[in-house]
Amino acid sequence: MENTIVQLSKYVITFLMICFTVQSFAALKERDEDERHYILMRQIIMIILMNFICFFVMFLQEGEVSTIQMFLLTMAYILGVQILYRLIYRKASMILVNNMCMLLSISMIILTRLSVSKAMSQYKILAASTLLCFIIPVIVRKGKFLKNLTWIYAVLGIAMLSVVMVLGFTSGGAKLSIEIHGITFQLSEIAKITLVFFMAGMLREDNSFGNVVKATVIAAVHVLILVASTDLGTAFVFFMAYVVVIYVATRKARYPLLGLAGMSAACVVAYFLFSHVRNRVALWQDPIGNWDISSQLAQGLFGMCSGGWFGTGLFEGRPDIIPVATKDFIFCAICEEMGIIFGICLILLCMSTFLLIINISMKMSKRFYKLIAMGLGTEYATQVFLTIGGTIKFIPMTGITLPLVSYGGSSMFSTVLMLSIIQGLYILREDEGEELEKRRNKKKRNQQKNDPGAKKKRRPDEETERRKKSGGRNDGQGTRQKYREQPDEFERRIEEQTENSLHW
């Protein structure tokens, strides 16, 4: 009976994941508020059902009370976040909240499957991070001073990376973090956010060549410190954020092209300088033939293939034998027991989150906020690409974790912080839309006062007689009147287009 339930559950889980992913993309293009509300409600029900089914199956398999405890804690977090966002931030993007809750649910499920102790540790960090970051949207919305701290962001970022380079301990061939009283901090996770804020502040008003050079020098210092720490995966994340922000700010293709050429040359140099880079390239080329170097990639690929389209079912596979399955190779563990279709939907869900962030960026009227959203979205997408691309042998492994899914306190905190900043930008955009609507209504009222409806309009024959009497002078006057009306018409059209874009 237990085996039957486990085998049926994997098909139900896959179906729920497919439906949730489809609904995420449907919510992006849906303009009707009532229909969007129904989509969001359906998504919440799917999240609850998936958690219940997965934790119930794991309890049947193991019979551990800790599994029930993790289920109750996960449900408390999801429902608490949903309620608090609706009470505190009524203008927040609930699509983004739902995507975050689904990704976190997947994280809690697979971590509970692999290690209950790590799942509990991750949950504590997640709860604390969420509570701390609930104030971030208010700071973004009200903090006008943020755009004036440009050089403070640069100093903070360089200082944090320098501390790791000097005092950090080596893991996997790279200096990634420091340890204080038994607690590990990966400061590069915070530095990637400060770098985006620095570049947005530098280029918000003046995107001249001089400012581009300044931004390039500071970004290069960040990247070079990471290279010196041999943390090349994070260096690539920083570089991609730099390239995208520079291009969005200047609209000149030569800057990103020069940057990509420089990165290509740097990758070749890194291959000859660092032995662990050569090892990762060798594993990427032939993971089976280089088993003596590391079995990570080969075992991860075996795990994904053994699961098939629908997976083996929870506790029916062996993802625990995959090295660092809770971190770098968590995608392989998910695909092994939940299926490749589930993994594809996970990729699409991450893509949906990225598109939502980019949509928010494109609708921001102020360049500072636009560049922040674009830079943070680029970093998120790059992390997803590097993690999943490395585990499926699309690119060499980089040691980057999957945002909101992989085990890791610093990564979890920085991603929750990033999404809180995005929520603040979304709320700010909604405020701009309301302000625009108020200005339009005020303008309409003023027009009605100046041109009351009680005033009778001239009949066509009266208008013709008046033109005959006035002669040719009327033509010039009419032309001048036409040109005086054109700016008002042009402004009206701009406001209509802005309003339509705000209600995407």
Where is the domain boundary, 436, 463, 479? 436
In this structure, are 101 and 216 located in the same domain?
no
Residues 6 or more apart whose CB falls under 8 angstroms from that of 66 comprise 112, 116, 120
Residue 489 has pLDDT above 60, yes or no: no
In this structure, are 208 and 188 located in the same domain?
yes
302 is in which domain, residue-wise?
A: 1-143+284-367+382-436
pLDDT score of 83: 94
Query: What SS3 state is found at 66?
Result: helix
In this structure, are 224 and 335 located in the same domain?
no
pLDDT score of 228: 85
- Domain-embedded: residue 138: yes
- Domain-embedded: residue 484: no
Q: How many distinct structural domains can be found in the chain?
A: 2
In this structure, are 116 and 191 located in the same domain?
no
pLDDT score of 452: 57
Where is the domain boundary, 412, 436, 460? 436
d(CA 242, CA 46): 37
- Domain-embedded: residue 4: yes
In this structure, are 190 and 332 located in the same domain?
no
Where is the domain boundary, 392, 410, 436? 436
Top-ranked range on mean pLDDT: pick from 44-53, 425-434, 464-473: 44-53
pLDDT score of 283: 87
DSSP 147: G
- Domain-embedded: residue 476: no
In this structure, are 100 and 35 located in the same domain?
yes
In this structure, are 399 and 269 located in the same domain?
no
Other residues' Cβ atoms within 10 Å of the Cβ of residue 67: 22
pLDDT score of 373: 94
Residues 6 or more apart whose CB falls under 8 angstroms from that of 373 comprise 357, 358, 360, 361, 364, 422, 425
Q: Per-residue pLDDT tens for 240-267?
A: 999 999 999 988 888 888 888 888 888 8
In this structure, are 408 and 386 located in the same domain?
yes
Handedness of CA 58, 405, 81, 10 (dihedral sign): negative
- Mean pLDDT computed over 11-25: 94
- Domain-embedded: residue 458: no
CA distances from 144 to 59, 198, 427 (A): 50, 15, 14
- Domain-embedded: residue 468: no
User: Tokens for 64?
Assistant: 């551990």
Q: Which of 192-206, 337-351, 480-494 has the lowest mean pLDDT?
A: 480-494
pLDDT score of 494: 47
Q: Which of 260-269, 428-437, 451-460, 479-488 has the lowest mean pLDDT?
A: 479-488
Residue 378 has pLDDT above 90, yes or no: yes
In this structure, are 335 and 399 located in the same domain?
yes
In this structure, are 126 and 151 located in the same domain?
no
Residue 23 has pLDDT above 80, yes or no: yes
- Domain-embedded: residue 21: yes
pLDDT score of 455: 44
Q: Per-residue pLDDT tens for 207-241?
A: 888 899 999 999 999 999 998 888 888 999 999 99
In this structure, are 107 and 162 located in the same domain?
no
Confidence band, pLDDT 50/70/90 cuts, at residue 287: confident
Share of the chain above pLDDT 70, in %: 87
In this structure, are 88 and 156 located in the same domain?
no
- Domain-embedded: residue 254: yes
Q: Per-residue pLDDT tens for 418-430?
A: 999 999 999 988 8
Average model confidence (pLDDT) across the chain: 85
- Mean pLDDT computed over 304-313: 89
How are beta strands 174-180 and 183-185 bridged, if at all?
antiparallel
Confidence band, pLDDT 50/70/90 cuts, at residue 102: very high
